[in-house]
Chains A and B, each alone.
Chain A
Amino acid sequence: MTAPAAERVPSGTGGEVILRVEHLVKHFPITRGIVFKKQIGTVRAVDDVSFELRRGETLGLVGESGCGKTTTARTILRLEEPTSGHAWYQGRDLFEASAAEMRELRREIQVIFQDPYASLNPRMTVGDIIGEGWHAHPEVVPKARRRARIHELLELVGLNPDHINRYPHQFSGGQRQRIGVARALALEPTIIIADEPVSALDVSVQAQVVNLLEDLQAELGLSYLFIAHDLSVVRHICDRVAVMYLGKIVEIGDEYEVYDNVAHPYTEALLSAIPVPDPALRGQRKLILLEGDVPSPANPPSGCRFRTRCWKAQEVCAGEIPELIERGQGHPVACYFPQIEFRSPAD
C-alpha cells in the first residue's frame, strides 16, 4: 500500500549528480536518391532533452513507442552521434570526447539491451561474452584472474558458474538477460543504461530480473538509467521518472509525484490506460481515451506537441513550447494547464 505523506522517503536527493544531459537533440535525416542523397526532411527523434542522474539512484525514462527514449539512451552511449547538446559525466562532455577518450569512458557507462536473443553473439561462449570487455580494458582484471572473475560474475547474477563454456541458445530468455547483466558488470561501471531490460521476458521471469537489478544496485552502488514503456515496472524500480512524448520530456519527478500527483495530461492519460489486475476495481478507473494516432516525429505539431490529442488544449498551446519547469505541482512539468488539485492516492 502507499505510504502516508509523512513516511515517504524523498529519493534522488543527497547523491551527487554523476550524469547531466543538457539540451540533447538527435535528428535523423530523411534522404532521397541513390548515388547523390538529398535531404528532404528530418525525423526529430529527440528534441531538447535535459535531465540529471544521481549516484545510486534509478532514473526511469518512460514513454510509448516513438517517443525517443531509446534514441536518447543510444545517443548518450554514442552508438548514435548527437545532433547537438551535452552529456556531462564527471566533468567531461561525452559528446566532445575523442574516440580514444570515449573508449576509456565506456568502461564507466555500460548497457543492457532489450532482446535477450539478439544481444548475445550466438557463436561465442558465455564466458567469452562476459569477458570480452576486458580486451578493450585489460587493466580492469589481470589475465590470470579472468576466469575466476567470470565465475564470480556468473554467481553474482544467479547463474551456475559451471556453464561458462555453454552457448547462448542453451539458456532461457531470463538467463540470457542475466548474462547480459554480467557482461555489463564485468567492466565495473558506475552507470548502467538498461534499455527495456525486461520487456521481452515472460511475466514471471521479469520479476526475477527486476529483483536482480535492485539487489545489484544495493550491493555495488550502481546508478541506472532505466528505459521502459511499462509504467508498472518503472514505478517499482525507479526512484525518479521522466515521461517522454514525441522527443521531449513532459514531466519528471519521483514515483509519488508522477504516479499519485500526476500533473501532465499525457501522463494522466497514460496512467489511466493501464489495466489494473484486480477485477474488483473494474470500471472504477477513469479511462481517458486519446483520439487518433501519435503525430509523426518528422512533422511534430507546433508549440506543445501533445496539443493535438489533449482535451485541455487552447490557443497558447500552439504558440511557444511549454518549458519543463516547476509550475506549483512540486515537480517540473511541461504544460500550461497542469493538474491543479492534489489527488490523494486513494482516488
Chain B
Amino acid sequence: MSDPGIRSDEIAVEPDVDGEAVVPDGELEPTSERAGSLWADAWRQLRRKPLFLISAGLIVLMVVIAIWPGLFTSVDPRDCRLENSLLRPSAEHWFGTDLQGCDYYALTIHGARVSISIGILVTIFATLIAIVFGSIAGYYGGVIDSIIARITDIWFAIPVILGGIVILNLFRQRGVLQVSFVLILLGWPTMLRLVRSSVLSAKEMDYVDAARALGIKNARIIRRHILPNSLAPVIVYATITVGVIISAEAALSFLGVGLQLPSISWGLMISEAQNRIRSAPHLLLFPGLFLSVTVFSFILMGDALRDALDPRLR
C-alpha cells in the first residue's frame, strides 16, 4: 500500500470526529452526540438528575420567598396583637402566633429574606477575595504565596462561632451588613485554600506550559487557562457555603450576637422558641423546618454540581 500524497494516507478513510465512519460506498453511522463545551455537557447532565432538579426547585422557591414575601402572605408580620399571643396553628393563623401575637407564618416567610441575602452576600464576597488572592498565591508562588498562605493559616485557626461572637459584640447596631461583614471576615480562609490548591494543580498542566511557550502574558494565562479549569471545586464549595453561612447566621442570632430585634430572622425566632418547646412547639418547628430545608437544598445542589463538574468523569 503506497501513499501517494503528503497526508492522504491519514485522510483517506479517516472517521469523522464523532466516530461517523465513512465507508467507500458512503454509508454513515452516527455515534452518541457529544458536541459542546464542558459547561454545556455538565448542564445537559445536570438537567436529567433528580437531585439537581429538586434542590434547584427548593432554592428557587426560597429565593422567590425572600424577594417577594408579599406573594405568599398579605399579613404584616409586625401587626401583632397581644391578645393573640401563643395561638396554635389554625385556619386563621397557619403557623400560629408568637409571644407578641404576631402571625408566625408571616414572620417565617419574611425571615427568609435576611437568611438568603446574608448567605449569598457573604459567599459572593468571600469567594471573590479567595479567587483573587488564592490565584495570585497559587500561580506566582514564592514569597507572595508564603505570605498569603501563612496569613490564611493563622486566620483559619480562628473558630467561626467564637470569633463571630467576640467581634459582633463590638458592634452596637447589628444589621444584615454588620453580620455579613463578620462572616466574610471569618469565611474567606477556607475558600482561599481551596482556590489556591485548585490553581496549584491547574498550573502543572501542560497547556499552561504551552501558553507560556507561546509568549502569552501571565494575566491572560490566569484568566483563560488557570481560572476556568480551577473553578469547578470552587463553585461546588461556594454553593455549599451558602447553606453553611445561613446556618451560621441563624446560630449567631440564636446566641444573641447576630441580628437584633426588630430584624426578622429564623435564628432569632428559634432563640425565642427555646424556652417554650413543650408548651408551644410550633414556635420552634416552623422556622426550624424552613431553615433546615433551605440549608439542605444548597448542600444537595452542591452535591449535584460536584458530580456534573468532575472532569475525571469525562
With a cutoff of 8 Å between Cβ atoms, the chain B residues found around residue A74 in the complex are 209
Q: What CA separation (Å) do A137 and B18 show in the bound complex?
A: 33
With a cutoff of 8 Å between Cβ atoms, the chain A residues found around residue B38 in the complex are 122-123, 167, 169
Q: Is B162 located at the chain interface by the 8 A CB criterion?
A: no
Q: Is A267 located at the chain interface by the 8 A CB criterion?
A: no
Q: What CA separation (Å) do A169 and B17 show in the bound complex?
A: 10
Q: Is B91 located at the chain interface by the 8 A CB criterion?
A: no
When the two chains form their complex, are residues B214 and A113 in contact, meaning their CB atoms are under 8 A apart?
no
A residues contacting the other copy or chain, number (CB 8 A): 45
Question: Distance in Å from the Cβ of A204 to the closest Cβ of chain B?
Answer: 11
Q: Is B310 located at the chain interface by the 8 A CB criterion?
A: no
Question: Distance in Å from the Cβ of B142 to the closest Cβ of chain A?
Answer: 11
When the two chains form their complex, are residues B37 and A167 in contact, meaning their CB atoms are under 8 A apart?
yes
With a cutoff of 8 Å between Cβ atoms, the chain B residues found around residue A187 in the complex are 214
With a cutoff of 8 Å between Cβ atoms, the chain B residues found around residue A272 in the complex are none
Contact of A170 among B11, B17, B150 (CB under 8 A): B17
Contact of A211 among B9, B36, B225 (CB under 8 A): B9
With a cutoff of 8 Å between Cβ atoms, the chain A residues found around residue B229 in the complex are 121-123
Q: What CA separation (Å) do A317 and B80 show in the bound complex?
A: 98
Given A107-B215, A122-B311, decide whether A158 and B10 contact each other with a Cβ distance below 8 A: yes
Q: Is B16 located at the chain interface by the 8 A CB criterion?
A: yes
Q: Is A111 located at the chain interface by the 8 A CB criterion?
A: yes
With a cutoff of 8 Å between Cβ atoms, the chain B residues found around residue A171 in the complex are 17
A198-252 CB contacts (< 8 Å) to partner B: 208, 211-212, 215, 219
Q: What CA separation (Å) do A35 and B10 show in the bound complex?
A: 54
Q: Is A321 located at the chain interface by the 8 A CB criterion?
A: no
Given A106-B213, A107-B215, A136-B216, decide whether A123 and B206 contact each other with a Cβ distance below 8 A: no
Question: Distance in Å from the Cβ of B208 to the closest Cβ of chain A?
Answer: 8
When the two chains form their complex, are residues B17 and A166 in contact, meaning their CB atoms are under 8 A apart?
yes
When the two chains form their complex, are residues A212 and B10 in contact, meaning their CB atoms are under 8 A apart?
yes
When the two chains form their complex, are residues B209 and A135 in contact, meaning their CB atoms are under 8 A apart?
no
When the two chains form their complex, are residues A135 and B17 in contact, meaning their CB atoms are under 8 A apart?
no
When the two chains form their complex, are residues B6 and A219 in contact, meaning their CB atoms are under 8 A apart?
yes
B7-23 CB contacts (< 8 Å) to partner A: 7, 9-11, 14, 16-18
Q: Is A118 located at the chain interface by the 8 A CB criterion?
A: yes
B205-239 CB contacts (< 8 Å) to partner A: 205-207, 209-217, 220, 224-225, 228-229
Q: Is A304 located at the chain interface by the 8 A CB criterion?
A: no
Contact of A77 among B146, B213, B224 (CB under 8 A): B213
CB-nearest residue of chain A relative to B7? A158
Q: Is A338 located at the chain interface by the 8 A CB criterion?
A: no
Q: Is A289 located at the chain interface by the 8 A CB criterion?
A: no
A139-162 CB contacts (< 8 Å) to partner B: 157-158, 160
Question: Distance in Å from the Cβ of B7 to the closest Cβ of chain A?
Answer: 4
Q: Is B71 located at the chain interface by the 8 A CB criterion?
A: no
When the two chains form their complex, are residues A35 and B216 in contact, meaning their CB atoms are under 8 A apart?
no
- Contact flags (1/0) for A97-129 with B, using CB distance below 8 Å? 000001110110011011100111111110000
When the two chains form their complex, are residues A113 and B209 in contact, meaning their CB atoms are under 8 A apart?
yes
B38-78 CB contacts (< 8 Å) to partner A: 38-39
When the two chains form their complex, are residues B37 and A123 in contact, meaning their CB atoms are under 8 A apart?
yes
With a cutoff of 8 Å between Cβ atoms, the chain B residues found around residue A170 in the complex are 17-18, 34-35
With a cutoff of 8 Å between Cβ atoms, the chain B residues found around residue A212 in the complex are 7, 10
Given A118-B206, A171-B17, decide whether A132 and B6 contact each other with a Cβ distance below 8 A: no
Q: Is A175 located at the chain interface by the 8 A CB criterion?
A: yes
Q: What CA separation (Å) do A104 and B215 show in the bound complex?
A: 8
With a cutoff of 8 Å between Cβ atoms, the chain A residues found around residue B172 in the complex are none
Q: Is B278 located at the chain interface by the 8 A CB criterion?
A: no
Given A79-B212, A169-B314, decide whether A35 and B6 contact each other with a Cβ distance below 8 A: no
Q: What CA separation (Å) do A77 and B211 show in the bound complex?
A: 12
CB-nearest residue of chain B relative to A103? B215
Q: What CA separation (Å) do A123 and B9 show in the bound complex?
A: 30
Q: What CA separation (Å) do A124 and B259 show in the bound complex?
A: 46
Q: Is A133 located at the chain interface by the 8 A CB criterion?
A: yes
CB-nearest residue of chain B relative to A137? B215
Question: Distance in Å from the Cβ of B145 to the closest Cβ of chain A?
Answer: 12
When the two chains form their complex, are residues B207 and A35 in contact, meaning their CB atoms are under 8 A apart?
no
Q: What CA separation (Å) do A124 and B226 show in the bound complex?
A: 12
CB-nearest residue of chain B relative to A180? B210
When the two chains form their complex, are residues A113 and B10 in contact, meaning their CB atoms are under 8 A apart?
no
CB-nearest residue of chain A relative to B205? A118
9 closest cross-chain pairs (CB), A and B: A136-B215, A119-B206, A106-B215, A133-B214, A103-B215, A118-B206, A158-B7, A158-B10, A121-B207
A-B contact pairs, 11 of them (CB 8 A): A35-B146, A110-B214, A111-B213, A119-B207, A121-B211, A133-B216, A136-B214, A158-B14, A167-B36, A170-B17, A215-B6
Other 19 A-B pairs with CB < 8 A, given A133-B216, A170-B18:
A79-B213, A114-B206, A115-B206, A119-B206, A121-B224, A123-B38, A123-B39, A132-B216, A132-B224, A136-B214, A157-B7, A158-B10, A158-B11, A167-B37, A171-B17, A183-B210, A211-B3, A212-B7, A215-B7
